[in-house]
């Protein structure tokens, strides 16, 4: 069972603004979510119904899982000190 990965417009823009060398690491983590949307090391965000966070180096990827539609919606990508603002 493979999940489709989509980006919210804001997340796509945040990803494109990262330097090309830095894009590779979060991209690999995001691609791996299509086969295993809840890998070891993810954290469910407190106070949110269906938001998860996975770290990739100094960057965090915040996403939601929609199991009925087999969809992972990437909400935010950013440096771990800035992503929660």
Listed by start position, the domains of the chain span 4-79
**Contact predicate 50/42, CB 8 Å:** no
Over residues 23-68, the pLDDT tens digits come to 998 999 999 999 999 999 899 999 888 899 999 888 999 999 999 9
CATH architecture of the domain covering 4-79? 2-Layer Sandwich (3.30)
> Residue 1 has which token pair?
């069972």
Q: How confident is the model at residue 82 (pLDDT cuts 50, 70, 90)?
A: confident
Cα separation, 80 vs 68, in Å, equals: 30
* Global pTM value: 0.89
């Amino acid at each position: 069972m493979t999940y489709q990965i989509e980006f919210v417009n804001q997340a796509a823009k945040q990803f494109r603004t990262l330097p090309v060398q830095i894009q590779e690491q979060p991209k690999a983590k995001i691609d791996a979510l299509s086969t295993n949307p809840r890998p070891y090391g993810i954290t469910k965000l407190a106070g949110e119904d269906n938001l998860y966070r996975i770290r990739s180096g100094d960057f965090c990827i915040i996403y939601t899982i929609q199991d009925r539609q087999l969809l992972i919606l990437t909400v935010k990508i950013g440096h771990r000190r800035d992503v929660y603002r």
